[in-house]
């Protein structure tokens, strides 16, 4: 039997599950992986990314229903997606992006209770044999290292 060592996963296994929504928690932005906020939307690194730089854009208001977003929230949400794409393009020079919404558990939503849009930078060859053979993703950079690397790009993007 082959072994895949991932000691950082122990924190996920043993940490108490939080009853509150991950997008509604308050605290230190770095610990919460929040890279950017406006009055209507927020950008957060995905704690379980497909690749480095996988972020989620969510309305600040807690809702799971796309139809309940105001026109202002809808525009802010998609402007947030475009902002993330620009920032991630500058920060990592990816070859493309996956951008998507999973509505409901059957559609793959890991957090059903709060609407969010995934922005995933992609590079040619970033998906190696591990995903196919072992059902495992290889993410070569620690989350807080990614956070610290991306934060200045998000802050600079705010000033543009």
- The Cα angle at residue 72 between residues 69 and 73, in degrees rounded to 5: 40
58-97 core/surface letters (b: 16 or more CB in 10 A; e: else): bbeeeeeeeeebeeebeebbeebbebbbebbeebbebeeb
Annotated domain spans of the chain = 27-155
- CATH of span 27-155: 3.30.428.10
Write the pLDDT tens digit of every residue in 113-141: 999 999 999 988 776 544 544 455 566 67
Q: Which residues are catalytic?
A: 116
Threshold 0.75, pTM exceeds: yes
Sequence-ordered list of residues with C-beta below 8 angstroms from that of 150, at least 6 positions apart, any chain:
35, 45, 53, 87, 88, 91
So what's the pLDDT on residue 108?
83
So what's the pLDDT on residue 24?
95
Write the pLDDT tens digit of every residue in 21-46: 999 999 999 999 999 999 999 999 99
């Amino acid at each position: 039997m082959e072994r895949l060592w991932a000691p950082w996963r122990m924190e996920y296994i043993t940490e108490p599950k939080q009853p509150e929504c991950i997008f509604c928690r308050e605290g230190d932005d770095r610990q919460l992986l929040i890279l950017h906020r406006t009055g209507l939307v927020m950008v957060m690194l995905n704690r379980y990314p497909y690749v480095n730089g996988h972020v989620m854009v969510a309305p600040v208001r807690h809702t799971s229903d796309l139809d309940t977003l105001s026109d202002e929230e809808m525009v802010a949400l998609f402007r947030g997606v475009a902002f993330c794409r620009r920032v991630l393009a500058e920060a990592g020079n990816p070859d493309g992006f996956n951008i998507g919404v999973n509505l409901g558990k059957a559609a793959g939503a890991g957090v059903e209770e709060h609407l969010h849009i995934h922005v995933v930078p992609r590079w040619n060859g970033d998906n190696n044999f591990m995903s196919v053979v072992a059902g495992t993703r290889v993410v070569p950079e620690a989350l807080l290292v990614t956070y610290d690397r991306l934060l200045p790009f998000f802050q600079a993007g705010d000033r543009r």
